[in-house]
Every structure is written in C-alpha cells, then in structure tokens.
Structure 1
Amino acid sequence: METSINQEFEDILNALFVPYYERVPDVQKISKAMINEGMIQSQNDIVNDHIAFRTLGVSNLGIRSFEKIFLKHGYIKKDYYHFEAKKLDAFWYAPPSPKFPRIFMSELKVDHLSNKAQNIIAKYTRNIDLDPVDLLDLDNSKEIGEFFYKPLWQLPTIQDYNYLLAESEYAAWVIYNRYYLNHYTISVHNLPPTYNTIESFNSFLESIGIVLNNSGGKIKTSKDGLLKQSSTVAEMITATFADGETMKIPGSYVEFAERLPLPNANINSSYINDKDRRDGFESANADKIFESTYNEQTKKIIR
C-alpha cells in the first residue's frame, strides 16, 4: 500500500516538474553544468530540498484548500510564518518519506490590501463558489497533476495586473501564474565536497552566468546559522493578457539550500543523516527569497 502511495506522489511531482523544467531555462542550464562539472550524472541525482507554492487568501482558495492535496498524501503541517510587510502567511509541510521534498506554502492576506486591489482579485475569483480541491479525486495522480495548471479564473487584463503589481508584486504573480510551481530547491549539502557549501555553489552558479537574488545579500542565513539559502532571479516570460496585450513578467526561479548539522549531531563520519541537520525554515530568509520575482531583482536580467 505504501509503495502505491509513494508512486502516486512521485507521479504528482513529475506532473509538476516537467512543465516547470521546460518553462524555466535556468533549471536546465544549471543541471547540464552540474553534469559537465561531474557533480551529478543526471538530473535525477539532485536532491530536492523543497518546493513552494503561492496562493490567494479568498473563499474556497488559499492554504486551507490547497494543502488538502498534500495532507492526503501523508504530509504533516508544521510551523507557521507571518510576513507583515508583504501581507503573507505561510506554513511548511514535512514529507511522509525523506525521498520527497518539503513543501512551503504561502498565502496572500487579500483583505489587508486596498479596496481597489481586493475588488480586482474578487473580479477574477468570486465565481469560485466551491473549493476546487474538493472536486478532485485525490487518489488520481493524473487529475491532481492537471489541476496545478488548470485555469481556475480568467486571465487578468494588463491594466489589472499592473495595478496589483504596484501594490503587491506577490498578488500580481499569483493572479497571472495561479498555482504554477514557484520554485524547486537544490539541496547543496548533498553535493560532492568541492561544491557542498552555499558559498562554493554560488560561485559555481555565477561562473556559468546565473544571476542571483541579492535582496538581503546573496546568501540568506538563519539566526542560528544552520540554514543558508540563495536563489536565482526569476525567469522573465512573455505573458499574454486577457486584452491580447503582451508583456514580459516574472515567472519561476530556482532556490538552493544548505542545511548544516545540528549542534549535537554525530559528525564523526563522512555521512550526516538528514535528521541530524537543521530542519524547517526561517522567516527572515523566506522574506528575501520571495523577492526573487520582484522587479527590483528581475530588472537585473537583460530583457
């Protein structure tokens, strides 16, 4: 039974990752360079630390809806995070098996936006009068995989997108990209010794032309010093809006995480078990990682 459940979730992850891989050229560029450098033999050798999703906090959507998919497949809801300035809440979810990535799920507090921004979001979401996840067969991996890219609301007009962009870049990202996979995360500490620190891996990334998010510094470090993260600047995609106009907007990106051993970990051997490494997330790190899709970062990419 457990083998069947594991296979179902692997199918769900594949359904998520294939379009993401095709849409985010940095994923392919980094993977190919890692293979050429001898770090890995194939993309499958990369350990995925976590994946992340963005949601809207409105009726029948948001975390309370979206999390059902993952709770059904054995994930455990963990710590809560709040981002006051960005008007966001978030939770992370521990996987049922170490072979699967953690999940980081955030939600925009729509009722904290201006009335006009709330009305714009309501224009697109008000007709969702049932929780769409409740309509899914959560045992059907194909159906769930397709759901991630299902258009739950109409494409926004460029005017509505730009208004949201001016008030909440997170809101603008979600109103266009919906439940698209926001990022996946390469587990740096699982790489060969020459590259298994965030500092050395960042140097490798920049040597192949990858632009890193430098909000709060290129390396975001937790207060305890045991979680280090960095990320690329989001890829710019050509978005076609409801009125037919097109514009370059931020898509998805790639993150990198190094989880250092806990103070009481057994480090007398060359292998350190994941349970002996720092788990969870850090709100200050995540706050700056969010900005991988923000204009202040994406303007660094030549369009």
Structure 2
Amino acid sequence: MLDEILDGLMRRYKQRVPDVSAIINAMLKEGIIDNQAEIENDHIAFRTMGVEHLGVQSLEKIFLHYGYQKRDYYHFQEKKLDAWWYAPPQDRYPRIFASELRVKDLSVKTRNIIHKYTDAIKADPVSVLDLDDVKVVDNYLHSGLWQTPTVEDYKSLLAESEYAAWVIFNHYYLNHFTISVHNLPEGYNTMEQFDEFLEKNQFKLNTAGGKIKISPDGKLLQSSTVAKVMEATFADDKKAEIAGSYVEFAERKVLDEFKDLPKDQICRKHRRDGFEAGNADKIFESTYRSQTGS
C-alpha cells in the first residue's frame, strides 16, 4: 500500500517537473544507470501551512499510519519555518522531510490572505480519511485543499514569504525527490562528480550557500536544481509565471566507526542519517526568485 502511495506521488511529480525525466534520461544515456529502478530515492519533501487543521500535524498522520517514525525537529528563524524528518519503515523507502510556515509570525496583511483561503477548512481533512484505502489517500495527496488564489494575493504573499506563495498555489504537492548520489557507480558517486555531470548536461544548480551544501560534520552533502518557471492559471483565468518543483541530490558519507567496512557491505545504517538545518535552509531557495531569475 505504501508503494502505491509513493508511486502515485512520483508519477504526478514527474508530470509536473520536466527535469525529473530529463535527468533520468541523461543518466541512462551516460550509462550511469541501466534503468530508473537503480536510483535510490534518499527523501521526498512537502511544504505546508502552519494553520489550524492543516500543517505537518495533519499531513504526518498519513505517513505515521504507514510506519514512518518522526525524528528531529528543525527551526528556520529567518524563513519563519519549522520542519521535521521521518524515518521510513524499511530502508527501501525514502525518508520524508516535512516543513510548515509559521503563519502566526507573519505580518497581519499576509496572515489575512492565507486565512482567506485556509479558513474554509473547518476540521483536519486527514482525520476523516480511510487511511487503509490507497485510492482515497492517493487522491487526497493530489487534491487542492483550498481555492486557487488570485494573482494579486499570490504576488502579495510573494513579497513577504516566497514559501507562502509557493504553497498557496501548489498546495501540498510533492516539492522534490532526491537522488542518492553515493549509491551511483564510481565516477559519479560524489556530489562534486555528479554536479559536474549535471552541469555538463545543462541543468541549472541552486547556488545559494554554494552549489554544494555541506553539513558541519562533512558527512552530508546536498545540491539541487533550480525550479523551472512555469505559467500558472490563477483565479478568474488570469495567468502569471511561478516557480514549480525541483530535484535534489544527496551524498551521505560513511560514519567513522564503519569506515573500514568493505564497500559491498555498506548499507543505509552505516551512513550519515537525518538532515542539517544549514543545508536545508539553502535548498528551500531552489524555488526562490534569487535562483529562478523570475
């Protein structure tokens, strides 16, 4: 059942993010992989609004039901975000990183715009779902939770919080998936090597904090593409360009206590786990105008 839910997320994500298929096709052409199934998905990410009945406390119920375990908390003061990550029930599944906007910390004007849309939701929508019905869960994860915003409201949110603007239009659609670089063949299995491959194939990388974001312990390295700008249809059929989703890449190095293990014996538990606030802070900017140029 979890496989079906994750497959549904990835199928629609690929339809909305052209870079996903483009990167996979480039990897196939280069001979890095023989088929898509060889790619390990390190983690997937969701963005949410921290308002009553919604936010992470609502969304997480789905994944906790399917065996995920809530782990570390992260706070992003400047971006006014909170986040948590979730460990999967089995190593073959991706980790989950879920963030939410601290709506109460925003200006009155911005809070009012957000509540104009989210106040229509009078109860936690996940609480009434049959979480054992895969089709119901799959449909929920791809349904708009509130009305499509006006261009004016979108642009007003954009002025204060680019995260808020992204969520108000995209709802809780999958924000990104992540290729585990360390499990690729020699020559492509470091962040530096894989970034070189991506740039050779004309993929634009997020440069916020440097192309490679490195945790203080040096064990978690992350990069990401810049979200493509797409034309979106707002309320009253008005159109404007917005940032879509993107693709992330992660290299998790082997922990020091396992450094002498033969390569063929190394698995997920031997590598750096979890996330790093400093890295994530810059990865968020993959949808920001400073990166997209929009």
Q: Give the aligned residue type for 2:64.
A: L
2:63 aligns with one of 56, 61, 70: 70
The 1-side partners of 2:17 and 2:246 are apart by 7
Partner of 1:5: none
Partner of 2:54: 61
Unmatched segments (≥5 aa) in structure 1: 1-7
The 2-side partners of 1:276 and 1:94 are apart by 15
Q: CA deviation at 1:266?
A: 4.3
Partner of 2:161: 168
**CA contact under 8 A between 1:158 and 1:243: conserved in structure 2?**
no
Count of aligned pairs: 293
CA RMSD of aligned residues (A): 0.9
2:79 aligns with one of 79, 82, 86: 86
1:151-190 superposed matches below 5 A: 151-190=144-183
Question: What secondary structure does 1:82 align onto?
Answer: strand
1:1-303 superposed matches below 5 A: 8-271=1-264, 272-299=266-293
Question: What secondary structure does 2:263 align onto?
Answer: coil
Q: CA deviation at 1:229?
A: 0.1
Moved over 2 A (4+): none
Q: CA deviation at 1:42?
A: 1.3
Q: Deviations over 1:233-262 (max 9, x none)?
A: 012121100021111100100000000011
Q: Mean Cα displacement is larger for which, 253-262 or 130-139?
A: 130-139
Scaled by the length of structure 2, the TM-score of the pair is 0.98
Q: What is the percent sequence identity of the aligned residues? A: 59
Q: Give the aligned residue type for 1:210.
A: F
The 1-side partners of 2:55 and 2:199 are apart by 35
The 2-side partners of 1:123 and 1:219 are apart by 38
Q: Deviations over 1:95-154 (max 9, x none)?
A: 000010000000000000000100000000111001000121111111111111112100
The 1-side partners of 2:229 and 2:127 are apart by 33
Question: What secondary structure does 1:156 align onto?
Answer: coil
Scaled by the length of structure 1, the TM-score of the pair is 0.95
The 1-side partners of 2:148 and 2:262 are apart by 53
